[in-house]
Chain A
């Protein structure tokens, strides 16, 4: 008997002994994704390991169903996997050819983990809410994976006229290294008015933003943090800890642009208030001159009256010139604004 024949017997025995669809629950270890989109991992529980593969459309179907449930596969996650047991002859290994992952188990685990982290964060969850960004938060640090997370955010900023000064820190958003890298990047930013932690592409929230490491880094950040890590119904712990939370990097960009627009509008309002006060003062001076002139022409012929009239006429000429200059200044401002 050849090795292949021996394994064929084992494969037949496995297929006959096991139902066509078995559900196996365990923890994910060694999750990898091939360039062709196949998924491979090992399911473990107390002292046992089972190789799992999801090939082609099965892999796509699993990813889509998990995205609908707003989770994605991650290291250490407990999942319930449905598939067929088989023997993979090139390795002589029993494996589960996965065709489904039960999202209810995964979501339950994620919620449990989130609750645990929230409890560990405690009162620090509100620390960011006490912060206020300056009126012109032009110095912005972006902590995001390469690709759409930072690109969508930067595109919104680039479309605005403001003089942004960006620090871009690229981090992984998935995998075991992601939480430490994201937390380190948040801790590393300095001299900025606002920190934006972003993740784009509309994917489901990954576990990284629900970890204590990332949430604690958000809480400890001296600058206000905006978290924008995807479209989701249940906010991550990082979202809850942040100064502000937005569904997408684009929305985070719009938040930043809005702060500058508000500052610009306040500047315009302050300028208008000055112009109003100047007009009011000149109108009052005009009225005083009119009153005095009327009094003098009505019969006041004293030397003092004439001197006062001459003085107020000079003031009136100054007021008229000032009004003209004021109008010119307002026009010049409008020209400056319109030219930009």
Chain B
């Protein structure tokens, strides 16, 4: 699944949590906010890289490449 797909799903769920909170019982608030915090932390972790180096999946030379 691409980062865009999981990101969109997370943002949609955060929106649903926000809507749900307006009519939630007070004792539901904790669970909903915990879930929101977890979603944000997981989504951010997926967008950010762990190390310093950019991940180069593939490097190809097409034709007789020359420097410009």
Contact = CB atoms under 8 A, between A and B. Distances in A.
Interface of A: 133-139, 145-149, 154, 157-158, 161-175, 177-178, 180-181, 184-185, 188, 193, 199-201, 203, 260, 263-264, 266-268, 270-271, 273-278, 280-282, 285, 315-316, 318-319, 321-322, 325-326, 329-330, 332-333, 336-337, 340
Contact of A274 (B8, B33, B44, B61): B33
12 contacts: A172-B65, A180-B63, A181-B62, A184-B63, A193-B2, A263-B7, A264-B44, A267-B11, A278-B32, A280-B22, A322-B30, A330-B37
Given A137-B4, A274-B17, A322-B29, 8 more contacts: A135-B8, A136-B4, A158-B52, A161-B49, A167-B57, A276-B18, A278-B29, A340-B48
A138 to B, nearest CB: 5
Contact of B55 (A165, A174, A321): A165
A154 B40 contact: no
A323 to B, nearest CB: 8
What class of interface size applies to chain B in its complex with A? 35 or more
B63 A172 contact: yes
B67 to A, nearest CB: 4
A163 B48 contact: yes
Contacts of B61: 146, 169-170
Contacts, number: 204
A270 B59 contact: no
A141 B24 CA distance: 45
Contacts of B32: 274, 278
Secondary structure call for the A interface: helix
Interface string B1-38: 01111011011001101110110111101101110110
B46 to A, nearest CB: 7
B33 A162 contact: no
Given A184-B62, A322-B33, A173 B2 contact: no
Contacts of B54: 154, 157-158, 164, 166
A271 B4 contact: no
A281 to B, nearest CB: 5
Contacts of B55: 163-166
Nearest to B56: A166
B60 A274 contact: no
B31 to A, nearest CB: 9
